[in-house]
Structure 1
Amino acid sequence: MLIAQMTDIHIGFDPDAKPEELNRIRFRATLQRVLSSPNKPDLLVLSGDLTDHGDAESFSKIADLLRVVPCPILPLVGNHDTREELKRAFPDTPEDNGFLHYVVERDGLRIICLDSFEPGRHGGAFCKARRDWLKARLAEGNGMPCLIFMHHPPVVSGIDWMDPAADEDWIANFADAIAGHEQSIRSIHCGHLHRRLHTSFHGIPLGVTPSVAPLVALDLRPIDETRADNRALITTEPPSYALHWWDGENVLTHYESCDDWEVLAHYGEHLKPMIREMFAERSLDS
């Protein structure tokens, strides 16, 4: 099973741009790449910040563009979104006690989509109610392999102005919820950071998928909120997406940037000997 993940699209950042705002152009290009790729996704996860202001018009625009997607879409709410407008644009999104979190089971894998949103807050949130909900969902899985998607990474990346404090309560609540289920959680995948990141959280692999909207600059120096040092904050690096491949036992993640490039080699007759040689090596090793 292939699960595509797109995150931090931020439609509506510059809605009056002519002929079309940059974020919508980037989203259209990324969506086109996902749908035209030889790797057809079985699910599409949108892991938060679909819009920049959480307004109805921006959600309507993104929903219209997504009508061509042939597979089920799993939306998550990000800190730039609103639950109300996300539900209006994607009415099939499950809701539980006001939170947009839910579980989808497919091909022997439980996909757990979390709600880390708190109105008025840029960083993550994971209250005791959400902690208890996740605990219950993991317990009822009885060790079945699962994959967790959430908007906010519960880790410190080193990009100072985007990071939480390591000891924030919401991170402790999330850690408490997953305690004892490390073997069943194959990996955790997030957005929010606008950069690719590979790390682990309590021994579980954790990845951050780069944004569709412009990326955050890679600068690991501490930042001083009282002194503007003219450092780069946002760049025009190409939009990206992730493709998570569930093979029935493990989850493997590929990332691809969406930009113009040339194909330097096609699999023609002249390359059949090379491919045969590679397959022959497998036979010898086994």
Structure 2
Amino acid sequence: MLIAQITDLHIGFDPDNPAEYNRKRLDEVLDRLIEGPNRPDLLLATGDITDRGDADSYRRLVTAFSRCPFPVWPSVGNHDLRDNFHAHFPGFDDGNGFVQYVLDLPELRLVTVDTLEEGRHGGAFCTARAAWLDTELAKDSAKPTYIVMHHPPVESGIDWMNTHPDEPWVHRFAEVVRRHPQVRGLICGHLHRSVTVAWEGRTVAICSSTAPQVSLDLRPIDENHPDDRPMIVAEDPAYALHHWNGRELVSFYDHAGAHTMLAKYDERLQPLVKELKGERPS
């Protein structure tokens, strides 16, 4: 099974522009997923799918996703607004107004949780959401499970985007996850950077954004003294492919820009392919 992920689309950043830069970048990624060699079985859109949470941006996203020949499973981030999300993406309400749901696939489960607190940039995870997650995870303790969420509960090292490990929502979320050993890992966004980190004995796979990326700068930042460092950079729009091989989820990170071919599979490389495959157990 091949699971694609896009995140931090920020549609509506330039709302009056019919050729919006962020929409163009999203379309480039969708083109690659639809027309490229790795067409996924499903697509996760892990939050900040709009920039302002306005109804028109969600409407435009419905149109953008309508051409996908695979199902798209959206979630919310700190730039989204739940009421407008639910109005255009119905069916993802957990019964309490949160965007939380379960994909029960043949070999694994994907459990999407809502880390949005409207008006706050960082994550949130209240007792109601924790109770829902605890209940859903308890329904199947055998099947490998991955939690899909916008905010990663880890300290990344990009100072102005960090999540502090002592934030109450992180402790509340961790308490639930610790009770369920079938949770293998987390699939996240928010950082506008591809990052892999261990957390609570699980792998956290964080995908870069389709919108412009956060500059990779691990120096401390002083909120009282701007130093003219780059903050946002226009690297190619990115996405992730999470491949379930029957045993574990293998995450790849790619971009939708030009891929210059330096070698191709022809008669010259055929002996190498035969040799490499021949070394494996039959």
The yes-or-no answer on 1:265 pairing with 2:263 is: yes
Matches of 2:137 and 2:92 in 1, distance apart?
20
Q: 1:212, 1:240 within 8 Å by CA — same for their partners in 2? A: yes
Task: Give the Å deviation of 1:215.
Answer: 0.3
Which residue matches 2:180? 181
Matches of 2:275 and 2:245 in 1, distance apart?
25
Which residue matches 1:198? 196
Which residue matches 1:36? 35
Task: Give the Å deviation of 1:53.
Answer: 0.2
Aligned letter for 1:151? Answer: H
Q: 1:245, 1:252 within 8 Å by CA — same for their partners in 2? A: yes
Q: 2:195, 2:205 within 8 Å by CA — same for their partners in 1? A: yes
Matches of 1:248 and 1:94 in 2, distance apart?
30
Alignment of 1:211-222 (within 5 A): 211-222=209-220
The yes-or-no answer on 1:117 pairing with 2:116 is: yes
Task: Give the Å deviation of 1:205.
Answer: 0.5
Alignment of 1:8-19 (within 5 A): 8-17=8-17
Between Structure 1 and Structure 2, how many residues are aligned?
Answer: 282
Which residue matches 2:148? 149
Task: Give the Å deviation of 1:261.
Answer: 2.4
The yes-or-no answer on 1:209 pairing with 2:207 is: yes
Which of 214, 217, 224 lines up with 1:226 in the alignment? 224
Which of 229, 238, 260 lines up with 2:236 in the alignment? 238
Aligned letter for 2:150? Answer: H
Which residue matches 2:104? 105
Matches of 1:166 and 1:62 in 2, distance apart?
33
Q: 1:9, 1:51 within 8 Å by CA — same for their partners in 2? A: yes
Q: 1:107, 1:248 within 8 Å by CA — same for their partners in 2? A: no
Q: 2:141, 2:180 within 8 Å by CA — same for their partners in 1? A: no
Aligned letter for 1:20? Answer: A
Match of 1:166, SS state, is: coil
After TM superposition, the score normalised by the length of structure 1 is 0.95
Match of 2:268, SS state, is: helix
Task: Give the Å deviation of 1:209.
Answer: 0.3
- Give per-residue Cα distances to partners, 1:126-169, cap 9 Å, x unaligned: 01111111111111112311111100010110111111222000
Which residue matches 1:90? 89
Which residue matches 2:6? 6
Q: Which runs of 4+ in 1 moved over 3 A?
A: none
Task: Give the Å deviation of 1:208.
Answer: 0.7
Matches of 2:105 and 2:36 in 1, distance apart?
22
Moved more, 211-220 or 129-138: 129-138
Q: 1:143, 1:181 within 8 Å by CA — same for their partners in 2? A: no
- Give per-residue Cα distances to partners, 1:183-233, cap 9 Å, x unaligned: x11221100000111101111011110001000001111111111111110
Structure 2 residue ranges without an equivalent (≥5): none
Structure 1 residue ranges without an equivalent (≥5): none
Match of 2:243, SS state, is: strand
Matches of 2:262 and 2:179 in 1, distance apart?
47
Task: Give the Å deviation of 1:248.
Answer: 2.2
Alignment of 1:249-260 (within 5 A): 249-260=247-258
% identity of equivalent residues: 46
After TM superposition, the score normalised by the length of structure 2 is 0.97
